[in-house]
Chain A
Amino acid sequence: MSDKYDVIVIGGGATGTGILRDLSLRGMSCLLVEQSDFATGTSGRFHGLLHSGARYAVRDRNSAKECMEENKILKEIAPDCVEDTGGYFVATENDDSSYIDKWLEGCAASGISTEEISPKELLQQEPSITNHIKKAYLVPDATVDGFNLAAANFLSAKSGGGEGRTYTQAVGFEIEKDKVLGVNLKDILTGREETVKCDFVINAGGPWTGHVASLAKQNLKVSPDKGVLVIFNHRITAKVLNRLRPPGDGDIFVPHGSVTVFGTTSKPADRPDDVEATKEEVLKLLDEGEDLIPEIKDMRLIRAFAGVRPLYQPEGGGGGREATRDFVLIDHESLSGLKGFVSVVGGKLTTFRLMAKNTVDFIAKKLGVDKPCITHKEMLHPPFPKERPVSPDNICQCERVNVHMLDKAVEGRESFSLSDIRRITRLGMGPCQGIFCTFRAAGYYHQNRNLTPDRTNMLLRDHIQERWKGGRGLLWGWHARETELMRGIYLGLMNLERVDDK
Chain B
Amino acid sequence: MIYDAVVIGAGLSGFIAALKLSSEGKKVIILSRGLGNLYSSSGYIDLLGYYPTDEKKPLLNPLRGLEKLISEKPQHPYSLTGPDIIKESVEFFLKITEKAGVPYLGTINKNTFMPTAAGTLVPVTFYPETSKVSLSEAGNIVVVGIKELMDFFPAYVAGNLTENLNKKVEFLWVNLGLSINREVNSYDIALSLEKENIRGKLIEELKKNIEKGSLILIPAVLGAKSFRKVISHIEEETGCKMLEIPTLPPSLMGYRLAENTGNYLKKNGVEMITGYPVDYVKTGNGICEEAGLTIAGGRIKKIRSRAFILATGGILGEGLQVYPYEIREKVFDLPVSMPGTTHYKDFFALKENPLSCAGVSVNQDLNPVNDKKEVLFKNVFVTGATLGGYDPFLEKSGNGVAISTGYKAALMVMKAGGKNE
Contacts and interface: CB of A to CB of B under 8 A. Distances in A.
Given A283-B324, A392-B180, A496 B156 contact: no
Given A464-B347, A465-B347, A483-B355, A447 B156 contact: yes
A279 B156 contact: no
A337 interface: no
A487 B352 CA distance: 11
A489 interface: yes
A485 B315 CA distance: 9
Chain A, interface size category, equals: 35 or more
A446 B156 contact: yes
Interface string A461-482: 1001100110010011100110
Contacts of B350: 497-498
A318 interface: no
Contact of B398 (A481, A486, A492, A494): A492
B153 A447 contact: yes
B248 A436 contact: yes
Interface in B314-346: 314-316, 318, 321-324, 343, 345-346
B160 A475 contact: no
Contacts of B343: 472, 475
Nearest to B385: A484
B51 interface: no
Interface stretch (B96-104, B114-122, B127-135, B194-202): B114-122
B393 A487 contact: yes
A456 B393 CA distance: 22
A9 B166 CA distance: 49
Contacts of A494: 116-118, 120, 122
Contacts of B56: 498, 500
Contacts of A468: 347
Contacts of B355: 475, 480, 483-484
Interface string B241-259: 0000010100000000000
| Residue from the set B56, B118, B156, B314 with the largest chain A CB neighbour count within 10 Å | B118
A499 interface: yes
Contacts of A488: 316, 393
Given A446-B156, A447-B156, A453-B163, A439 B248 contact: yes
Contacts of A36: none
Interface stretch (B6-14, B26-34, B181-189, B372-380): B181-189
Given A481-B315, A487-B393, A488-B393, A495 B156 contact: no
Contacts of B394: 491, 497
B398 A456 contact: no
A488 B323 CA distance: 21
A443 interface: yes
Tell which of B42, B180, B246 has the most Cβ of chain A within 10 Å. B42
B188 to A, nearest CB: 11
A457 interface: yes
Contact of A477 (B116, B118, B121, B322): B322
B396 interface: yes
B316 A481 contact: yes
A443 B353 contact: no
Interface string A364-398: 00000000000000000000000000001111010
Nearest to B396: A492
B362 to A, nearest CB: 20
B300 to A, nearest CB: 26
A464 B314 CA distance: 23
Contacts of B396: 492, 495
Nearest to B55: A498
A452 interface: yes
Nearest to B346: A465
A480 B322 CA distance: 7
B42 A492 contact: yes
Nearest to A394: B183
B121 A495 contact: yes
Contacts of A486: 347
Contact of A493 (B117, B159, B181, B346): B117
Q: Which of B119, B150, B350, B394 has the most CB of A within 10 A?
A: B150
A465 B120 contact: no
A142 interface: no
A487 B160 CA distance: 20
A495 B322 CA distance: 25
Contact of B159 (A446, A461, A477, A485): A446
A484 B150 contact: no
A492 B314 CA distance: 16
Contacts of B315: 480-481, 484
A155 B182 CA distance: 34
Contacts of B262: none
Interface string B388-413: 00001110101000000000000000
Contacts of B349: 497
B151 A439 contact: yes
B120 A495 contact: yes
A492 B117 CA distance: 12
Contacts of A57: none
**Most chain A beta-carbon contacts within 10 A, residue among B121, B182, B316, B396:** B316
A495 B248 contact: no
Contact of A442 (B156, B316, B324, B347): B156
A475 B314 CA distance: 15
B93 interface: no
A406 interface: no
Contact of A492 (B162, B184, B345, B393): B393
Contact of B181 (A279, A392, A495): A392
A443 B353 CA distance: 27
A392 B120 contact: no
A167 interface: no
Nearest to B117: A494
A63 B153 CA distance: 52
B182 A440 contact: no
A38 to B, nearest CB: 25
A469 B344 CA distance: 10
List 5 tightest A-B contacts by C-beta distance, closest first. Answer: A443-B153, A453-B159, A447-B155, A480-B322, A468-B347
26 contacts: A392-B181, A392-B184, A436-B151, A439-B117, A439-B118, A440-B150, A446-B153, A452-B159, A453-B159, A464-B347, A465-B347, A472-B345, A475-B355, A476-B322, A477-B323, A484-B314, A487-B353, A489-B248, A490-B347, A490-B348, A491-B348, A492-B398, A493-B116, A495-B396, A496-B348, A500-B56
Given A484-B316, A492-B396, 14 more contacts: A436-B151, A436-B248, A442-B153, A442-B156, A447-B153, A453-B160, A457-B118, A464-B348, A480-B315, A484-B314, A491-B394, A493-B116, A494-B116, A498-B120
